[in-house]
């Protein structure tokens, strides 16, 4: 039977349905997300991209999404690796960064390690310090100020340090968005820190996520990270969640120390592998 990878910049309705079915089937087997949230949204919303499809006869057996031009990033549904696809993609891009999920740590060319940490709830709560006010995000009002605070905190981060208004608004319009779990800490009328939480409502084992957490660089190292994390976890618990997760880079020293001190433990490790034409 003919088995070959083909790519398209735009999935037609039938292809999109095939890909969504494949993602759902893979998620059921793995018991976790089959594709990173941002890439999944590209499929769900039918956005243009470099979509690669592997068919066995009429059946779609694998899918991958490539983003970027000369320096591209690739993730295959399920988070595996495919030598044939790599060769094809390297014909179109100088450098390919390939996300592998559930890595066992034995791979070469690793340029980034992302960890999924988990914790059982509740955890002890840390009160909001005097002189600071905790409130929730108000859509239509807080976007610009939150982007400024969060981008400043993540200035050195490859993905989270350059969010635009569009990136934020797209998420605000997602069905899971719940402003009651998006906490802002104000000091002297300015956002000093924030913690955006998310409840995975449709997961069979409903759980929470610390989706984005950051402290304005001016205020870092003064205990606000601790406050925001404990308040974010309390907000998740108040919505009936017993377990929370978060993603963190293995080399993010301050965040790792903060999470480990709360009792977060490692659930899995994903690795970004780099390949170039020569
Ligand atoms: C990670 C972050 C939220 C921590 O906030 P913070 O207000 O600086 O942290 P706190 O002052 O509350 O410190 C809490 C704990 O974090 C750890 N920590 C904080 N800064 C640290 C540093 N520079 N080096 C090592 N550990 C550090 C310590 O364990 C500290 O506890 P301790 O003071 O009892 O030793 C903040 O540094 C930040 O916004 N970083 C950029 C964005 C980011 O990486 N977010 C997390 C992504 S997963």
Ordered DSSP codes for 6-17: EEESS--HHHHH
For residue 190, pLDDT beyond 70: yes
Tell me the C-alpha distance between 79 and 112, whole Å: 15
- Decide whether any atom of ligand 1 lies within 6 Å of the 200 Cβ: no
Is residue 113 domain-resident? no
pLDDT at 220: 97
Residue of 149, 254, 259, 266 to test ligand 1 pocket, by largest number of atoms within 8 Å of CB? 254
Q: What is the pLDDT of residue 1?
A: 60
From the CA of 216, how far away is ligand 1's center (Å)?
Answer: 11
pLDDT-derived band at 23 (thresholds 50, 70, 90) equals: very high
Same domain? For 190 and 89 the reply is no
- Determine the length of the chain: 278
Q: Tell whether ligand 1 has an atom less than 6 A from the beta carbon of residue 213.
A: yes
Same domain, 233 and 176: yes
CA 55 from centroid of its chain's CA atoms: 28
Q: Return the DSSP state at 222.
A: S
The domain that holds 8 is classified in CATH as 3.40.630.30
pLDDT at 147 exceeding the cut of 80: yes
Does residue 75 form part of some domain?
yes
Q: Determine the Cα–Cα distance for residues 278 and 267; give it in Å rounded to an integer.
A: 35
* pLDDT given at position 106: 72
Average pLDDT over residues 160-165: 90
173 and 253 co-located in one domain: yes
- C-alpha of residue 215 to centroid of ligand 1, in Å: 8
- 79 CB within 6 A, ligand 1: no
State which ligand 1 atom lies nearest to the alpha carbon of 224: 7
* 64 and 186 share one domain: no
For the Cβ of 30 lying below 6 angstroms from any atom of ligand 1, the answer is no
In a domain, 114, yes or no: no
The answer to whether the CB of 226 is under 6 A from ligand 1 is yes
Q: Which residue has the tokens 């239509």?
A: 140
Write the residue with the smallest CA distance to atom 16 of ligand 1. 258
Give me the pLDDT at residue 93, please: 97
Digit-coded pLDDT (tens) for 170-183: 999 999 999 999 99
As beta bridge partners, residue 110 has 273
Q: How many domains is the chain partitioned into structurally?
A: 2
The per-residue pLDDT for 2 is 67
Mean pLDDT across the stretch 253-274?
96
- Does the beta carbon of 111 lie inside 6 Å of ligand 1? no
Backbone angles phi, psi at 112, to 5 degrees: -155, 140
String of DSSP letters for 95-124? EEEEEESS--S--SSEEEEEEEEEEES---
Last residue of some domain: 101, 129, 163? Answer: 101
Q: Are residues 81 and 126 in the same domain?
A: no
Is 278 within a domain? no
User: How far, in Å, CA of 248 to CA of 264, rounded?
Assistant: 11
Q: Per the omega criterion (within 30 degrees of 0), is the bond before 43 cis?
A: no
pLDDT score recorded for residue 31:
84
Is the pLDDT reported for residue 144 higher than 80?
A: yes
Question: 259: CA distance to ligand 1 center in Å?
Answer: 9
* Helix or strand (DSSP H, E) at 195: strand 190-200
pLDDT of the residue at 70: 96
Q: Is 261 in the pocket of ligand 1 (CB under 6 A)?
A: yes
What's the sign of the alpha-carbon dihedral 152, 153, 158, 163?
Answer: negative
Whether 111 maps to a domain, the answer reads no
Q: Determine the distance separating the centroid of ligand 1 and the alpha carbon of 270, expressed in angstroms.
A: 22
pLDDT in tens, 89-121: 999 999 999 999 987 767 789 999 999 999 999
Question: What's the chain's average pLDDT?
Answer: 94
Which whole number is the average pLDDT over 152-167?
A: 89
Domain boundary among 46, 66, 101: 101
Atom of ligand 1 nearest to the CA of 193: 39
Query: Looking at ligand 1, which atom is closest to the CA of residue 226?
Result: 12
pLDDT value, residue 159? 76
Which of 35-57 are b and which e, b meaning 16 or more Cβ less than 10 Å from the residue's Cβ? Answer: bbeebbebbeeeeebbbbbbbee
Q: Tell me the whole-structure pTM to 2 decimals.
A: 0.92
Domain residues for the domain of 222 are 119-269
Per DSSP, 251 falls in state T
């Amino acid at each position: 039977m003919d088995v070959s990878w083909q790519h398209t910049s735009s999935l037609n309705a039938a292809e999109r349905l095939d890909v969504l079915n494949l993602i759902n089937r893979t998620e059921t087997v793995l018991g976790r997300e089959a594709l990173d949230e941002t890439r999944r949204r590209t499929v769900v919303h039918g956005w243009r991209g470099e979509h690669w499809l592997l068919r066995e006869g009429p059946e779609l057996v694998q899918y991958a999404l490539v983003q970027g031009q000369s320096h591209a990033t690739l993730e295959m549904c399920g988070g595996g690796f495919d030598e044939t696809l790599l060769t094809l993609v390297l014909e179109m891009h100088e450098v390919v960064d390939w996300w592998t999920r559930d890595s066992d740590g034995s791979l070469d060319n690793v340029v980034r390690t992302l960890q999924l940490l988990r914790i059982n709830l509740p955890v002890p709560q840390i009160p909001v310090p005097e002189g600071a006010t905790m409130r929730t995000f108000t859509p239509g009002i807080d976007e610009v100020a939150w982007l400024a605070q969060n981008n400043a905190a993540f200035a050195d981060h490859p993905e989270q340090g350059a969010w635009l208004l569009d990136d934020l608004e797209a998420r605000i319009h997602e069905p899971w968005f719940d402003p009651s779990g998006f906490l802002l800490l104000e000091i002297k009328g300015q956002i000093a820190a924030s913690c955006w939480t998310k409840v995975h409502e449709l997961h069979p084992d409903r759980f929470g996520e610390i989706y984005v957490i950051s402290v304005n660089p001016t205020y870092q190292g003064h205990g606000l990270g601790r406050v925001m994390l404990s308040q974010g976890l309390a907000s998740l618990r108040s919505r009936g969640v017993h377990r929370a997760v978060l993603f963190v880079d293995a080399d993010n020293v301050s965040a790792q120390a903060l999470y480990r001190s709360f009792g977060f433990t490692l659930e899995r490790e994903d690795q970004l592998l780099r390949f170039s034409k020569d």
